[in-house]
Amino acid sequence: MYRLLSAIWLNAIKPMTNRYAGFLLFLFAYTFIMQKFGGLPSVMTVWRLEIPLLLYLYAYFNLITRKSRFQYLVAALPILLVYVIFDVYYLLLGRLLHIAEVTELPELLLVLPLGIKILIILLLGLPVLVFLGNVSLRRFRPLVLGALPLLAIGVAMERYPDFFIDVFKGTQKTICWYSDIQSVSNNGRISMALYNEAHRNRALKKIGVYRGDPAFKQAFDSKVAKVHAVQDKSNVHLIVLESFFDPSLFYGARFSRDPVYPSFSTFFKGKAGFSISPVFGGSTAQAEFEALCGVPALQEISSIEFNVFTGAKTLCLPNLLAQGGYHTIASNAFKPDFFNSTNAYEGLGFENIYYAREYAPGRDTYFSTGDIANEMYMFDGDLFNQNLAFVKKWISENPDKPLFNYINTIYGHLPHLLNPGKRPMVVKLLGKFRDNQFERAANQCYYRTQAIAAFVRELIRIDPKSIIILVSDHLPAFTFGPQTYRSLNYHGKSEDFMHLNRIYIVENGQPVRYSTIHHYDIPRIILSYVTHEKFNQTVASGIAAPRNTCLGEDRFHEQYMAIMADAMNNAPALPPIAMKSPAVKRD
């Protein structure tokens, strides 16, 4: 009887011991646990394409690897690695990884400390090397034949994206463009990555019809004429602050002292606004694109719009101001090859582009990084002081030529290091929750707000009839990504809190506050000020639509495509952007 019961039990659990069943069970367990810790949704609900594709990949990898005691683990390594990458990316940056974002890897490695670079290379490289070392080239036939279905998917995705998208939509569950979580829950990580790449390729194929669109040319010319007609043109100063944040918005955090410098708090008291950024934790160029072009960074052409700019003139604010009589300059505190900024700035319409001489030897520039020992990046105050000297000289020598002065800072980038000799720790994070990067960034905030307050005060003195806009590119990821924000109750964990950034606006020497906007509203605020137009004040104040809603995609899509079409053209006609003034309340 005992042997009979044992045989029945073994037969019952035999399917569970099969390597394929074990592979699925492990994936189910892993994704279920990751979901509980804030990762992407469990894979248990995506049986239409994701799970069949995973099983096919696992079977294929079993066929082409050498037989051994650990073959079942070796065959699973590439799949598990891909899933871990998807989850880590989401945990840190709050969005689904796109295939095209592989091009961002050089930028990522460029800004990381050496130790973290080595760790990433090891964590990514070792599993790949183990897998490749176990691939048997003698199994040529299964190696080639098994790859054909995967090749067919790749060809359809890259060469026939319309067909791929039609089939995908006809066979899979709903795709929510505004929610990575919902789309992955419906269709799976890899499936949505394939769909997003096909969607990007379709947009690339269609972009040519938008080049030189006469409707946008007419709207652009109309705005240029308005700017040109203004007799007393005011200077414009737009500063995009790397990873700047307001510690007072972390309602659950307690500090040994206020991390915001007193003169900053006094000047902007009650006038700090909010702007919704397109990104969290990284990809500054996306925030720049919105703040300078006036449209959402839809990622239809590239995961980073700047990366496909060729230097061809396109439809954005700097071009508009340049044609309207302004001298347009861009000052970037980091390297010229970071996010293709040189080509991007040229295409946007900046007539002079400046980098620190340490990063661009031989290029004309007015500033230097100074001492960046122990901090990796140029301090805001050093950049601001040199920019003030430049602006003062420009105003003195060119009293009749208005200036668009654009600055992109880099201090405050992870890992938020401070030079103890220059900027010692003065703020301590109290309580049980620990995030060392958050604590260091709070200390950086103390020194940054001191530098900003001094910069704004002096800029008002030398250029009182101007508009000054300071906006954070995105919130920093700190150590634990969005989890730090949840744990410390950032802005009461309001809807889409991860994209809610501070913006500070000074008009004619006085701070003003607008109701919550998006980064892509900044060009309209600037043009409204420059042309002495007022925003429509009839709409009651309210919060701008969160980043994860559908509002605005159709409204901006045509404009976005026209901008990108000209930006990617090697010899375009210049023509652009219809900048309609939205209803925004100011107090």
Q: Does residue 373 belong to any structural domain of this protein? A: yes
Residue 181 and residue 280 in one domain: no
Phi, psi (5° rounding) for residue 406? Answer: -105, 130
Is residue 242 within 8 A of residue 412, CB to CB? The reply is yes
Q: Does residue 3 belong to any structural domain of this protein? A: no
Instruction: Count CB neighbours of 152 within 10 A.
Output: 10
The backbone region for 340, taken as left when phi is positive above 0, alpha when psi lies in -120 to 50, beta otherwise, is: left
Residue 181 and residue 266 in one domain: no
Overall domain count for the chain = 2
What CATH number should be reported for the domain holding residue 527?
Answer: 3.40.720.10
Predicted local confidence at residue 579, as pLDDT: 41
Residue 287 and residue 169 in one domain: no
Distance CA 332, CA 329 (A): 10
Domain boundary among 189, 207, 225: 207
Predicted local confidence at residue 544, as pLDDT: 54
Q: Give the residues of the chain that fall short of pLDDT 50.
A: 1-2, 4-5, 7-13, 15-16, 536-543, 549-552, 571-587
Predicted local confidence at residue 243, as pLDDT: 94
**Domain limits at 391?**
237-567
Residue 182 and residue 246 in one domain: no
Q: Does residue 467 belong to any structural domain of this protein? A: yes
Residue 325 and residue 403 in one domain: yes
Residue 28 and residue 111 in one domain: yes
Q: Does residue 577 belong to any structural domain of this protein? A: no
Is residue 292 within 8 A of residue 577, CB to CB? The reply is no
Predicted local confidence at residue 258, as pLDDT: 95
Residue 57 token pair: 């990949």
Residue 473 and residue 349 in one domain: yes
Residue 329 and residue 183 in one domain: no
Residue 31 and residue 169 in one domain: yes
Phi, psi (5° rounding) for residue 580? Answer: -90, 135
Residue 151 and residue 298 in one domain: no
Residue 528 and residue 461 in one domain: yes
Residue 159 and residue 242 in one domain: no
Q: Does residue 220 belong to any structural domain of this protein? A: no
Distance CA 524, CA 467 (A): 13
Is residue 416 within 8 A of residue 345, CB to CB? The reply is no
